[in-house]
């Protein structure tokens, strides 16, 4: 049974916390795990390392798009979230923020992302980045509904995440003519996202089954840990191939191998029976560190 909604938030401090919670800015792991593939892209594109101002604009744009996705997700799921243990205290589900307020926040996030494209990114790449940003909107806004009609909604999220590679690459180089390095980086992002979000969905399997919504964790069943391991292994191999094709220095390889080993170790742990729900959230946070370690490997691999 779902708990009763919490009373409306009182006071400016409580309201601010509710808005930050709706954007998930109070949980930095979820923001970093989107920005990390953007970093992979920036440090693997031909002109790497990227200029610091461009990195700053990409971070701001990523935060805005991520916030918009979170708000859209909670708007879609405002009747489901109160029935799921992990999500019932979210601001919309608990009644601390209303639908109208959430729609205003969604619009502000989208306008902030548009402002980054129009005024922050290099003029030569602005048109291409705007086209990519507009192409991002349908999957980002529709992803939360995918669990109602698609057995693998995590694949839809992975497609959304893929724009975190394409837009930074286009912003830095002015085109998407990246050949195999870009293709490998993009596919690595898709597979990594599908893997970690499948694990995230494992914590909700019982609730999702009762509610009749779908996830890759339910669809894969006992094969989920093996699928996650394959995704992580392929992610590391694809980034290694991109690094080799772009001529990164030898400093990349020790850190890259360490991150790959850590990812596979985390996937192996998923095979343990009767894992507590907290284990899946911990796995998600570990992926932030391991994905960040891969990014660090790319950064040091670019050092002269």
pLDDT, residue 78, reads 80
Query: Using CB atoms within 10 A of its CB, is residue 297 exposed (0-12), middle (13-18) or buried (19+)?
Result: buried
Dihedrals φ, ψ of 39, to 5°?
-65, -40
Q: Of the candidates 289, 184, 299, which has an alpha carbon nearest to the alpha carbon of residue 252?
A: 299
The answer to whether 59 and 50 have CB atoms below 8 angstroms apart is no
pLDDT tens by residue, 124-148: 999 999 999 999 888 887 888 888 8
Name every residue whose Cβ is closer than 8 Å to that of residue 274 and which is 6 or more positions away in sequence: none
Q: Please, which pLDDT band fits residue 272 given cuts at 50, 70 and 90?
A: confident
pLDDT tens by residue, 202-252: 988 888 888 888 999 999 999 999 999 999 999 999 999 999 999 999 999
pLDDT tens by residue, 97-111: 888 988 999 999 999
Alpha carbon distance 293, 192 (integer Å): 14
Q: Please, which pLDDT band fits residue 153 given cuts at 50, 70 and 90?
A: very high
pLDDT, residue 151, reads 93
CA angle in degrees (0–180, nearest 5) for 300-302-160: 90
pLDDT tens by residue, 17-70: 888 888 887 777 778 888 999 999 999 998 889 999 999 999 999 999 888 888
Alpha carbon distance 91, 82 (integer Å): 10
Q: Using N-to-C axis directions, what is the helix angle for 126-142 and 153-173, rounded to 10°? A: 170
Name every residue whose Cβ is closer than 8 Å to that of residue 244 and which is 6 or more positions away in sequence: none
pLDDT tens by residue, 68-85: 888 888 888 788 778 777
Alpha carbon distance 163, 165 (integer Å): 5
**Residue 155 pLDDT greater than 90, yes or no:** yes
The answer to whether 288 and 33 have CB atoms below 8 angstroms apart is yes
């Amino acid at each position: 049974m779902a708990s009763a909604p919490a009373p409306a938030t009182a006071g400016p401090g409580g309201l601010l916390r509710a808005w930050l919670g709706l954007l998930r800015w109070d949980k930095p792991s979820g923001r970093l795990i989107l920005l990390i593939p953007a970093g992979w892209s920036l440090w693997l594109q031909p002109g790497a390392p990227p200029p610091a101002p461009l990195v700053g604009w990409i971070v701001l744009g990523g935060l805005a798009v991520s916030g918009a996705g979170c708000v859209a997700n909670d708007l879609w799921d405002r009747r489901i979230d109160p029935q799921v243990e992990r999500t019932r205290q979210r601001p919309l589900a608990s009644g601390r923020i209303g639908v109208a307020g959430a729609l205003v926040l969604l619009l502000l996030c989208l306008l902030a992302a548009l402002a980054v494209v129009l005024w922050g990114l290099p003029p030569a790449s602005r048109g291409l980045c705007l086209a990519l940003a507009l192409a991002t909107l349908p999957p980002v806004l529709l992803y939360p509904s995918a669990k109602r009609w698609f057995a693998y909604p995590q694949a839809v999220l992975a497609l959304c995440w893929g724009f975190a590679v394409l837009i930074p690459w286009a912003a830095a180089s002015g085109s998407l003519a990246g050949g195999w390095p870009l293709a490998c980086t993009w596919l690595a992002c898709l597979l990594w996202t599908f893997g970690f979000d499948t694990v995230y969905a494992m914590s909700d399997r019982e609730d999702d089954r009762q509610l009749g919504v779908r996830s890759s964790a339910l669809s894969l069943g006992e094969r989920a840990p093996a699928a996650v391991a394959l995704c992580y292994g392929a992610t590391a191999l694809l980034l290694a191939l991109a690094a080799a094709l772009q001529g990164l220095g030898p400093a990349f390889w020790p850190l890259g191998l360490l991150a790959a080993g850590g990812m596979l170790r985390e996937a192996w742990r998923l095979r343990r029976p009767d894992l507590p729900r907290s284990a899946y959230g911990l796995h998600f946070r570990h992926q932030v560190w391991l994905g960040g370690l891969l990014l660090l490997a790319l950064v040091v691999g670019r050092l002269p």
